[in-house]
Each structure stands twice: as C-alpha cells, then as structure tokens.
Amino acid sequence: MTSKIIEISKDGAERWTAGQSLQNGGVITERQTARVGVVGLGHMGEAFARNLLADGHQVWAFDRGPERVALLVQAGAKPAAGFSDLAACDFIITALPDDTVLGPAVLDPGGLLDVMHPGAIHISMSTVSPGLSARLADAHRARGQDYVAAPVLGNPDLAHSRKLFVLAAGDPDALARAKPLLVRLGQRLFVISDDPAAANLMKLAGNVLTATTLEAMGEVLALLRKGGVDQEVAFDVLTNSLFDAKVHKTYGGKILNEHYSPAGMAVPLAVKDLRLALAEAERTAVPMPSASLAHDRLVGLIARGWADLDWSALGLLAARDAGLPSRLPIANDKPRQS
C-alpha cells in the first residue's frame, strides 16, 4: 500500500479501519488506525481520548486517578496501569498540568523516554515552559523518538466539540505524521515552527493576552455598573462594536453572568502560565508591565480564597475592589465597602 497522510474532513467522512497498527515508518495510511496513548485524563485529556476513540483509533488511557481511567475504559479505551503499558503506542499524547509533572513523567527512570519505541511520537499538549519543551525534544531525539509540542487555545467545552485551536511545532516529518490526529482535535491547526519550544511560547503569549483582556473587561464592567449603566446593555455595546473577539464575548459573558464555576481554567493554572511567560520575558529582556499586573491580580484571587474559580473571576475581583456586591453566592466573598 502506498503511504500517504489522509486529510479528514470535519464531518468525519474519511476514517481508518480499526485493528491495524501503523506501518511504513509510522505514517497513518488509508484504512489504518493509530495506536495512541493518552497520559493525563483531566478535562482536556479526557476530551482528546474520547475524540480519538470516536475516530476509530486504539486508545490506551493512563492517569494517576483510576476512576478517570475506568470512565475511558467504559468508552472503549484500554487501561494502562503504568507507562510500560504504552510501549506499543505509535503516538503518546500528554495532557499534564505543568513542568513539574510532565518533566518527570518523561525523563525519570521508567518514564516515557524509556518506554517509547524508536520512531514513536510524543505529542505534548500541555502548557509548559519553552525550556522544558526544548529539553524533551533533545532527549527524545537522542533515543530515536520524535517530539511535537501541540498546546491548544480553548477550554474543555471546546475540546469536546473539536473547536480548539492547536498550536504545533516540531520536526517537519514528525508534524506530518502527527497531523491527521491533530487536525481532528480542533477546528484549526497552526504550524508554528520546526522548534517545539516556539509552540509553547505562542501558547503562553495567547494566555497573557487573554488574562490582560479579562482584567481590562472586569475593570470596565465594574466602572459601568457602578455608574448605573445596565450590564446587559454594556455587554451588548462592548461585544458587538469594536470588541467582538471570542475572548471578549466568551469570558466577558462569564463576568456578566458571574459564571466563575466550574472553572475552565482554574486560577492557579493561569498564575502558572503568566509566571512562565514573565520568566521568558525576563530571559529575553522584554518588559511586560500589563502581564505583570495580570499575574498579581490572579495571585490576589488566590489570596481571597478563590483558587477554585475560573480565571475570568478577575472580573469578580474588580467588582469587589469597587465595592459592588455579587448577585450570586460565592465562597469567601467579602465585598469591600465604599
């Protein structure tokens, strides 16, 4: 069979036949399925695994929480009790929270580096530092393995509905082999660079822009609310005139409706992302005063006991600083009196 990469339409018209392993150097070919390990079954990892299963792939699921693995097994995945159970996988997707988790999962003895076979591809969809991404790429290359960084822009709801924006970077051949999987996990795949670290920097930059937008929207909505402007009218004007981007509409809607729980992006993860971005800014001598402010405001949410809220709660913090009460019960909510 002649090897070729299949471009799958959004309606899933083209599929692979289950039960065949990859051949021809690890390229997904017609009528074939991929063997994919998914490590980390939080909100995002679970969505990736379910979508891969829906596309007919063989999926091995690993997580420290056995209940999460059990849910995926019910959906058709194979359970992985440890990394060694992923040895036959042609692709391993990691969806882990930060450097302190992803690094050891790959580099420690018995980690993915020791388990993956030559030619297998590690696709890291985690938001981690560019420095760690570069180290992982070097480590995999030394073992004859491949590494693709593919963090995403979007929340768990978008992950389930395949509406994420995937930011991919890595060796062009590895990217070509991973592409049929990645295009099915989101609405658009952006190829950033052949340097994996560039995708992680792009992701951090996107999160900085979101955080600063949330801070600004929170302040503006608090100003308008305290000035007596109806919040629904204010939101309509802002998001249907000059500020009609997805971030303004989606997260501005959360601020308007005080819909901060359950969190799509919990505050501590947002703090981590801003911290990583500021570290890169310091390393490259790029002043980012707005990012520094947004970071400190996110830390302020944690200080008030709101660590479990969505990062759009920057709007809640702005309202509280203005002495505005909440319409909904929120734990540890003590508005400052004006």
| Model pLDDT, residue 143 | 97
pTM: 0.87
CA torsion through residues 288, 249, 243, 220, sign: negative
Q: For residue range 233-247, what is the model confidence (pLDDT) as tens digits?
A: 999 999 999 999 999
By annotation, the residues acting in catalysis are 203
Alpha carbon distance 111, 279 (integer Å) = 27
Two tokens at 240?
Answer: 């249907």
CA 178 to chain centre: 17
pLDDT reading at 16 higher than 90 = no
Q: What is the pLDDT of residues 232-286, one digit of tens each?
A: 999 999 999 999 999 999 999 999 999 999 998 999 999 999 999 999 999 999 9
| pLDDT tens by residue, 39-48 | 999 999 999 9
Q: Domain 201-321: give its CATH code.
A: 1.10.1040.10
Residue 324, helix vs strand vs coil:
coil
**For the segment 71-122, what is each residue's pLDDT rounded down to a tens digit?**
999 999 999 999 999 999 999 999 999 999 999 999 999 999 999 999 999 9
Residues 91 and 67 sit within 8 Å (Cβ to Cβ): no
Cα distance between residue 277 and residue 21, in whole Å:
39
Report the chain's mean pLDDT, rounded to a whole number.
90
**CATH classification of 24-194, choosing from 3.40.50.720, 3.40.50.970, 3.40.50.10800, 1.10.260.40?**
3.40.50.720
CA 313 to chain centre: 19
Q: Which of 175, 182, 195, 192 is nearest to 130 (CA)?
A: 195
The structural domains of the chain, with segments of one domain joined by +, span: 24-194, 201-321
Tell me the per-residue pLDDT of 170-229, one tens digit each, with 9 for 90 and over. 999 999 999 999 999 999 999 999 999 999 999 999 999 999 999 999 999 999 999 999
